[in-house]
Amino acid sequence: MSKLFYYLILFLALVFNSEYAAAYQEEKLVSNIKELQEAIDRSQPGSVIVMKNGTWENLQLEFKGEGTVDKPIVLKAEKAGEVFITGTSYLKLGGNYLVVDGLYFKDGYTPKNSVIQFKISDDLIANNSNVTNCVIKNFTQPDRDADDHWVEFWGRNNTLKHCYIAGKSNTGPTIRVFLKGNEHINNRHQIVNNHFGPRPRKGGPHGETLQIGDSYTSMTPSYTNVSNNLFDRCNGEVEIISSKSNFNTFSNNIFFESEGSLVLRHGNYATIDANVFIGNDNSENIGGIRVINTGHWITNNYFYKLKGEEFRAPLAVMNGIPKSPLNRYNQVTDVVVAYNTWMYCGTPWNFGVGSNIDQREVLPASEIRSARAERMLLANNLIYSEEQLPILKLYDTINGVKFENNYFNENIENTLKTSGIDLATITIEKKGDYFYTPKEKFDDVYQGFDFETIQTDIFGNSRENYKQAGAVINSAKTDVPLVDFSKYGAAWFKPAKENQNLKPISVSNPKDLIQAIKDAESGSIFLLEKGDYNFTESLEIDKKLTFKAKKAGSLVRLNFSSGENTAFRMHPNGKLILDGLSITGTYKQDAIRTLDTNMSSAYNVLIKNSKLENFKSILKSSKSSFADTIQIHKSSFINFENGIQIAQEKDDTGEYNAEFVIIEDSNFENITESVIDFYRGGYDESTIGGNLIFTGNTIKQSGKSDKVKLLIKNRGIVHVTISKNVFKNNSVEFIAILWGEKGQKPVDNTIINSGDFKIVENLEQKLMY
């Protein structure tokens, strides 16, 4: 072979390698953080960096590089779901055309402001990048008040798809889109095909699942697309999604039993099309769409069994504040609501929501929401119910709202008596789970301005030849399932369910019980033999555990005699169930108490058919702790210094220490201070607001040492029921002070030498804005 030919072959090889090697580059397997960072530093367009299966602890990674549309730089798991990111970890992306695939964040939290962030610095932003097939589960801060986001969008054209994200219990939206600067507006981010799993009730504001923009960038264009996602029991606060920017699209999403709404909080010109909202008969906190601002089109949506009202109504149209500042409420104008179906909902349409003119005595003029909706159109909608209910609820007049060709069945009352809301015969046919359509064809529809742009129904069936009211063209094919949970999230991941087949564990002495608690799975039931169980240490509750008398009516006595500050100490995710027990202390302990710090997730307590006596308090919570439910049924509490103390959030920022406190058919005697101290401060409407049900109880000889002479303290709690109780010989001035504006009043109570109730119509609270 001649030298000329040799050099020609060498030259061609070099050219081939330089121009095409990236397209055919082999995967680079890395097994530790050092190798990973080196591989990232050496990456070229087309590089594929593979993280070895196993646990990567305290991974604080900056993934940067410059891929191309045809040759992205890929960072992926050796096998999706078997690369675990734990400890204090985060991942930041910077550059172009980067892909992250198959990582699992668990058993840790971010030491920064985000878990995954499409930005390394202000000078190194991610664009055209993609996070896919990943899971972030329970990667929550130890301190519930610590603020972070699990995914932060910056830059443009970034995508989050086919991910499962669930369990955030600390402050801050789960997903946050930022628009601070021209490089972040007109971003056209894609949030698609994800499963947003349960977000627990937070007990305060800032618990959204998704927030797009903020008040001060709310007039900027975002064009973020949120489509084909499942929002599954996202209960953090009233806003599941908080849209705070312009031109966003929300389409083909499923909102499944989520206690909140899709909220058009700030910003204009949103498109809300072909979404499904599913509620149930058990919760009155599941909402639909809340409307604020200008120019939105709400079409082809299906609402099923939504029982929420006011802020959580199936359709809530708010009043605005005249000349509103950016962070409050702008007037609703030029909004179209067309071709939607409300099936088995509560009162479907609520107008003038948030009107607070009657609170002028406790609010500044700048907070009064008196600007009514203008130039709003509701047309070609379908409403069906088997309950007798009004079609709408008005909190103010609605002269600026027009109705055309909306149809409802005979059980619903048109209290407005206006045209355009028409009584019709509607015969319902079940098509599948949660899915019903009318047999009739309501083809007399209104053709409004730009209505020709509504070209399909909720399933994508063409409306060109079928002009029919409601979300579904029932003459078209409708045998597809309304909800298919398998379509969402990471294909390799399925959320674990609690083991329901655990056998009860019989225990006869304290030593065995302590060991059994340590060894038990969540959901375990301990059946206690008759007798005395003496403890010199606290019982730690960090999972769901039931303590129950093995034989109903037998005397099972748990005696706590040490100097410990509690009998049962609640940890995050702990659920304590006491059934049929006698529990005594030495006046030195709290019966139940939370950890003093790091109560990252909610706990629950259920006491039934039990007797507790001689403790400092029934339950004492720490600041930043949160109980989803505290429930007491048919139990007795004798000789306590304090009752239930869930009033540690005194910063008046809308936070509170429990969501549901339900006490029924129980006895309280010689509680020297208040029986309940339950507090929520701050003028905030982003949450359920706390629930107190106190009914069928007897309270005697209590409250004598309380400084303000108040037996039940419930300041700021929104939902309070006090009924059918007996109050006898309690040394207090008032039993409770109730909030008249929220409809609170005592019902059928017997009061003997125990003060009385006081009703304050408008409660003055600290403004948070």
Alpha-carbon gap, residue 99 to 75, rounded angstroms: 6
Alpha-carbon gap, residue 375 to 359, rounded angstroms: 27
Confidence of residue 361 (pLDDT cuts 50, 70, 90): confident
pLDDT digits (tens, 9 = 90+) for 54-102: 999 999 999 999 999 999 999 999 999 999 999 999 999 999 999 999 9
Strand 239-244 versus strand 261-266 pairing type? parallel
Q: Is a pLDDT exceeding 50 seen at residue 16? A: no
Output the pLDDT for position 25: 65
Highest averaged pLDDT of the listed ranges 462-466, 488-492, 684-688: 488-492
Mean pLDDT of 124-143: 98
Query: Which residue blocks in 329-407 are alpha helix, DSSP H?
Result: none
Strand 712-713 versus strand 676-678 pairing type? parallel
Output the pLDDT for position 88: 98
Q: Is a pLDDT exceeding 90 seen at residue 422? A: yes
Among 435, 425, 377, 373, which residue's Cα sits nearest to residue 400?
Answer: 373
CB atoms near residue 587 (< 10 Å): 11
Q: Is a pLDDT exceeding 90 seen at residue 401? A: yes
Element (H, E) at 584: strand 582-584
Output the pLDDT for position 477: 65
Cα three-residue angle 310-233-715, rounded to 5 degrees? 50
Mean pLDDT of 615-629: 97
Give the residue with greater pLDDT, 25 vs 367: 367
What does the radius of gyration of the chain's CA atoms come to, in whole angstroms?
A: 29
Confidence of residue 312 (pLDDT cuts 50, 70, 90): very high
Token pair, residue 456, equals 């399909």
Weakest-pLDDT range from 403-417, 448-462, 478-492:
478-492
Output the pLDDT for position 319: 95
Confidence of residue 766 (pLDDT cuts 50, 70, 90): confident
Alpha-carbon gap, residue 528 to 549, rounded angstroms: 5
55 contacts: CB under 8 Å, gap ≥ 6: 84, 86
Token pair, residue 364, equals 């500044």
Average pLDDT, the chain: 93
Output the pLDDT for position 137: 98
Weakest-pLDDT range from 13-17, 251-255, 674-678, 698-702:
13-17
Output the pLDDT for position 511: 96
Output the pLDDT for position 9: 40
Element (H, E) at 402: strand 401-404
Alpha-carbon gap, residue 728 to 699, rounded angstroms: 6
pLDDT digits (tens, 9 = 90+) for 579-594: 999 999 999 999 999 9
Alpha-carbon gap, residue 761 to 608, rounded angstroms: 35
Alpha-carbon gap, residue 395 to 416, rounded angstroms: 13
pLDDT digits (tens, 9 = 90+) for 21-55: 444 467 999 999 999 999 999 999 999 999 999 99
Among 579, 609, 604, 580, which residue's Cα sits nearest to residue 592?
Answer: 604
Weakest-pLDDT range from 439-453, 461-475, 599-613:
461-475
Output the pLDDT for position 19: 38
| Location of structure tokens 């100097």 | 563
Q: Is a pLDDT exceeding 90 seen at residue 465? A: no
Confidence of residue 360 (pLDDT cuts 50, 70, 90): confident
pLDDT digits (tens, 9 = 90+) for 101-114: 999 999 999 999 99
Mean pLDDT of 652-656: 93
Confidence of residue 15 (pLDDT cuts 50, 70, 90): very low
Alpha-carbon gap, residue 247 to 269, rounded angstroms: 5
Alpha-carbon gap, residue 107 to 265, rounded angstroms: 33
Q: Where are the beta strands (DSSP E) in 623-697?
A: 627-633, 636-646, 658-664, 667-671, 676-678, 691-695
pLDDT digits (tens, 9 = 90+) for 515-561: 999 999 999 999 999 999 999 999 999 999 999 999 998 999 999 99
Weakest-pLDDT range from 18-32, 321-335, 487-501, 557-571:
18-32
